[in-house]
Structure 1
Amino acid sequence: MKFNPGSPTGARHPELGAPASETGGRDSTRDTVARIVLERGPQSAADIAHALGLSAAGVRRHLEALVSDGILEQCTPRRVSSATGPGRPARAYQLTDAGRASFPHAYDDLATTALRYLDETGGADAVTHFADHRAAILARSLAPSLPAASVDPATQADALAAALTGQGYAANVQSTPAGVQICQHHCPVAHVAAQFPQLCEAETRAFEQLLGTNVQRLATIAHGDGVCTTHFADRSRVSPAGVTVPARPVGVSAAVSTTAKSPSGRNR
């Protein structure tokens, strides 16, 4: 189910006018059910049915789907259901941590504001030190999943990509004539890194330490490239001059690949 908590629908919910349908527009009705629980705290099916002008049976179907999706969970009610009156407390539902996280938040704004303040008060070096600290934490969490540095680059890359995927980076590996590319299709800090590329640079240095070889960042999501691509050379594939030239990042246009031409590897 596609969960869209930002678009509630329903009749008696304060943001809406027409009655919600029990069967039609299921996703939007479920979004509204979740939003009611967010705004009012733990709710029973009867509470929500009363708010939306639906039957309790119809609301229960939406609640069961939200529980199945990990958005809601059952809990012990704090009070007797207002819609059912005195008697045995009705089963209540509350948001899970994942459900709460699915609603709009300002984490990116908070992080950007904090780094901007750090830059203004401590200078660019302070931001770089913070980025290195964050990258070191990431490296420590990834290191146990990696094989010894003596194994072939493809095996190292596969292990690193799998470890990154386990932390939400959606990474895979592409082999090129010049070596191996690790492609990260998601960046949890892309919006912040767009303003503070030190985060990307520190991550690249962390990859070098983990893999025990020089790497080159060819593209980043933060720079607008659509995928973060990191190249590291297979030493068995060198030119007669002894230099391995990285291939264009897989899936990235020729114009985009020019971002890798900075001597420091920093995107411009």
Structure 2
Amino acid sequence: MTIDSDRTSGLILQALKARGAQTASVLAERLGVTAVAIRQHLDRLNGEGLVAHDDRRESVGRPKRYWRLTDKGHARFPDNHEGLTLEIIDAVRNVFGDAGLDRLIGEREARMRASYGAALSSGGSLADRLGRLAARRSAEGYMAEVERLADGSFRLTENHCPICAAARACQGFCRSELALFRALLGPEVSIEREEHILAGARRCAYRIAASEAN
């Protein structure tokens, strides 16, 4: 297998991670590769257990084949230091109890608020601030992006969770991050989680809008 072949396979996995299930033709257009080449890569990745497909009938004619990551494919985007993180969480809980773990999460939130606050301190529109927030989150491995919705609100999407193992062990991390976003964006902005990886979604997504009172 060539380096270019490895690179294309990696890009396919990244595209499926970031955008969810897609057809071979959509992947080909997105990556600038022929559909024939994409199908060859998908067949190989399928053989390795990294991708799987579902056939969907969307209209008259043959069903369309949508490719998605398997659990093994998702595992190619691992948590940061998963084993060590779980050991530390378990140790803190054993020594200091749940109250001590809550204090640890609170300290992490306070530090993130100070760090993120500096990145967002230059002001600007809500779109500008969300763009900077997404860039910061992406730099930390969350594969974050922002889109403006038809009603003028925004959706902040995180296609990967680099602390997923920690969040599964203690959902206080998820509650803390939602509280962090609300504190950073201020009381004039409403933010609600619409999709949650821990609830079985492929991503975490937040709907964000200026509060009606403003």
- TM (normalized to structure 1)? 0.44
Contact 2:79 2:163 in 1 (8 A): no
CA RMSD of aligned residues (A): 3.0
Partner of 1:233: 209
Partner of 2:196: 220
Deviation at 1:198, TM superposition (A): 0.6
Closer/same/farther in 2, CA of residues 147 and 141 from structure 1, 3 Å limit: closer
In 2: Cα distance, 1:223 partner to 1:121 partner: 29
1:115 aligns with 2:89: yes
- Give the residue type in structure 2 aligned to 1:169: Y
Deviation at 1:165, TM superposition (A): 1.5
Unaligned runs of 5+ in 1: 4-101, 244-268
Deviation at 1:178, TM superposition (A): 6.4
In 2: Cα distance, 1:215 partner to 1:125 partner: 27
- Give the residue type in structure 1 aligned to 2:195: A
In 1: Cα distance, 2:128 partner to 2:80 partner: 38
In 2: Cα distance, 1:144 partner to 1:225 partner: 31
Contact 1:180 1:231 in 2 (8 A): yes
Contact 1:173 1:180 in 2 (8 A): yes
Given candidates 107, 129, 147, the residue that maps to 1:156 is 129
1:142 aligns with 2:116: yes
In 2: Cα distance, 1:121 partner to 1:178 partner: 48
Would you say how many aligned residue pairs link Structure 1 and Structure 2?
Answer: 138
In 2: Cα distance, 1:218 partner to 1:132 partner: 23
Closer/same/farther in 2, CA of residues 106 and 143 from structure 1, 3 Å limit: closer
Contact 2:142 2:158 in 1 (8 A): yes
Larger proportion of strand: 2
1:169 aligns with 2:145: no
Unaligned runs of 5+ in 2: 8-75
- TM (normalized to structure 2)? 0.54
Partner of 2:28: none
Contact 1:168 1:186 in 2 (8 A): yes
- Give the residue type in structure 2 aligned to 1:219: E
In 2: Cα distance, 1:106 partner to 1:186 partner: 11
1:192 aligns with 2:163: no
Contact 1:216 1:232 in 2 (8 A): yes
Deviation at 1:148, TM superposition (A): 4.8
Deviation at 1:120, TM superposition (A): 3.0
Computing the radius of gyration from Cα coordinates, the structure with the larger value is: 1
Deviation at 1:206, TM superposition (A): 1.3
How big is each residue's C-alpha offset from its partner over 1:16-69, in whole Å with a ceiling of 9 and x where there is no partner? xxxxxxxxxxxxxxxxxxxxxxxxxxxxxxxxxxxxxxxxxxxxxxxxxxxxxx
- Correspondence list, 1:10-29, <5 A: none
Partner of 1:260: none
Contact 1:180 1:234 in 2 (8 A): no
1:128 aligns with 2:99: no
SS in 2 for 1:232: strand
Closer/same/farther in 2, CA of residues 164 and 116 from structure 1, 3 Å limit: same
Larger proportion of helix: 2
Contact 2:105 2:176 in 1 (8 A): yes
1:207 aligns with 2:181: yes
Deviation at 1:105, TM superposition (A): 10
How big is each residue's C-alpha offset from its partner over 1:77-121, in whole Å with a ceiling of 9 and x where there is no partner? xxxxxxxxxxxxxxxxxxxxxxxxx9x999312211221232233
Closer/same/farther in 2, CA of residues 202 and 224 from structure 1, 3 Å limit: same
- Give the residue type in structure 2 aligned to 1:163: R
